[in-house]
Structure 1
């Protein structure tokens, strides 16, 4: 009898773990919580709807009658490095086609290329100078702490959102405090995970909410070739992007393993059915 109960307990635990396994692509439609706030804290979402292996992201898509929402969580250090280097581009194609050039795209966080290189160069140079003078090897905890502080500082300095495809928006860059109703906030939590929330009003996509059925969406980690090359040069010079990350501009990652991925965009497409 004891053996039977032990087996039953093991089966129940295994079934619970299996039931909690998330799909690679979100297939369910969700109504956004009435208390939703775009603040980068991810408190109102009840977990995540999918965990994509290609991009290594947890994410949820939802809507109400006014906005379409995206919530993302990244915990992998190399993935966060890639996000900080080139941002996340989210595309909605209301015609249901897997074509980003015919959709509405929002990219955040967005760092101007010159500014990104300057920040990388400044941080890398300062760290190389300190290491050269003091020759003090940092612990992993110290590197992680420095990387977290640096990422928080970088995100706080971002004041623009990159957009394309919106007929009512003539500029490619808009303020995070824009008049179009686009809201995007990314923050680092205290455990070092990147939390991102986005809201896009249907009204600026020229779609009739009463007629919406389904549309295609794309989530892309852009990467930046020139930042990747700079990182490799910095690393060759004795500082730059090494394991632990705080020695480099964006923190995180073993360059020898992650440099190629940093330089190449990764993405996936899915289909979302509108929740009325």
Structure 2
């Protein structure tokens, strides 16, 4: 996660505050709140390992609804720019992710997160199983506001609600590969043993929750009573690149590409179009 903030510090006396207009006071309050949030995230991320260490029992109150208040994130992965936790209970294995950076959120909404499980540490294991979510294309692309944190404080709730409405209305499917007797395209309301949800929280961060039945992943459990996993934040699609407008025919063929440099989003990661990932082994404990 990369935050860049330039602040002109002023010594505010009682007289200075009295001379400030109401909009100026509100602006300073918002700036102060933003600095606290950024400082808190930076400090939190720096204290966490880049990869989760050890196993974790899931909270008893876990609910897959895109809200992560019951979770404590155990790692902050620099390569993918996300916080994450993997946990389990007697029924499921869980993957929980929080993205707070605009580049990461754009990549996830554009092309999804892929969670891969395998009994082997080989990165190109052809027997691995994968789940990709969220799943949008140019026909059901949600209209997401990624700059919530820069909006006036009294309008943030509106943008968060609008974003979540778009996710619910358009994000109804997930894609799988490699699971026995499981369709490759599933509804989020499936009965295959995969529960998944995502939502923006009150601070404008994107949250992702996934639960997979342990029965479903039992073929991938290795001799250590664990699985090897890879989390991939897929690169942004051309259609979703800021400053690029793609025109397609009814069958999806690209007919025109319009690039407007004036519409580029400054500060986005240079690697926004490139998939990033991390891997590890997760061992189930009793």
TM-score of the alignment, normalized to the shorter chain, above 0.5: yes
Partners of 2:102 and 2:268 within 8 A in 1: no
Render the CA deviation track for 1:7-33: whole Å, top value 9, x for unaligned: xxxxxxxxxx79x81110112111112
- Per-residue deviation, 1:232: 2.1
SS in 1 for 2:151: helix
Contiguous gaps of at least 5 residues in structure 2: 1-42, 247-257
Instruction: Report what 1:136 is aligned to.
Output: none
Instruction: Report what 2:56 is aligned to.
Output: 30
- Determine the C-alpha separation between the residues in 2 that align with 1:190 and 1:229: 25
Instruction: Report what 2:194 is aligned to.
Output: 182
Partners of 1:90 and 1:217 within 8 A in 2: yes
Render the CA deviation track for 1:150-202: whole Å, top value 9, x for unaligned: 53232112111111111111x21101110112001100001101111100012
Partners of 1:228 and 1:262 within 8 A in 2: no
- Per-residue deviation, 1:89: 0.6
SS in 2 for 1:79: helix
Q: Number of paired residues?
A: 227
- Determine the C-alpha separation between the residues in 2 that align with 1:109 and 1:32: 23
- The answer as to 2:174 corresponding to 1:161 is yes
Instruction: Report what 2:80 is aligned to.
Output: 55
TM-score by length of 1: 0.71
TM-score by length of 2: 0.69
Partners of 1:93 and 1:102 within 8 A in 2: yes
- The answer as to 2:89 corresponding to 1:64 is yes
- The answer as to 2:92 corresponding to 1:79 is no
Partners of 2:243 and 2:261 within 8 A in 1: no
- Per-residue deviation, 1:259: 7.0
* TM-aligned CA distance change 1:237 to 1:231, over 3 Å: closer
- The answer as to 2:284 corresponding to 1:274 is yes
Q: Which has the higher helix share?
A: 1
Partners of 1:57 and 1:74 within 8 A in 2: yes
Contiguous gaps of at least 5 residues in structure 1: 1-16, 125-138, 244-253
* TM-aligned CA distance change 1:194 to 1:84, over 3 Å: same
Q: CA RMSD in A?
A: 3.3
Instruction: Report what 1:103 is aligned to.
Output: 128
